[in-house]
Amino acid sequence: MSRTLLPLIINDVSALSRNLRRQLEDAERIPSHVEMLNLLAKAGGYKNFQHLKATQAIPRKQETTPLDLKRVQKAVRYFDLNGRLQRWPKKHNQRVLCLWVLWSRLAARTALTELELDEQLILNHSFCDHTMLRRWLVDEGLISRTPDGREYKRVESRPPLEAVELIRQINQ
């Protein structure tokens, strides 16, 4: 197995310790490296190591392409004069650009409940589908959530050049 750096955030170390101890008591031998990864993931509230790995945000590649102003101008049309997303784009690349604007309006390094996140999304769009926007933000790796869906956090990363320009134009 290749070495993968994955953060494991533990809110309750005592519960993790009890859970891990219970799992190790049932073991007939010392667990292998992969088995230990699964034990840790399960003790942390995940189904297994693959589940933990799948919930982590995908690191974004650095932008090397020049700024495409035509693409930005197309995305601007999806926002009203107040900067609210008024309709959902059909094309994936336009959707992702629009999601970056919503991402930029979420507080950095702040845990939000599902209700708080929904309130933020409702304020920033006008087509009445905040649940779809929340799912897209998670699926695109712009926000992360705990396995139980109780907490959401903005994933801190550098937006692509087009997204930076779109955010600038919408917030003028």
Domain CATH for 158? 1.10.10
Pair (101, 37) in one structural domain: no
Q: Is residue 61 part of a domain?
A: no
pLDDT at 60: 54
Whether residues 100 and 32 fall in one domain? no
**Which pTM value belongs to this model?**
0.65
* Domain identity same for 113 and 90: yes
- Percent of the chain's residues with pLDDT above 90: 56
Q: 99-132 burial, b for 16+ CB within 10 Å, e for fewer?
A: bbbbbbebeeeeebeeeebbebbeebbeeeebee
Q: Which domain holds residue 45?
A: 13-55
pLDDT for 51 equals 82
Same domain, 106 and 132: yes
Over residues 7-64, the pLDDT tens digits come to 777 777 888 888 888 888 888 888 898 888 888 888 877 888 888 887 775 555 554 6
Does residue 3 belong to any structural domain of this protein?
no
Split into its structural domains, the chain has a count of 2
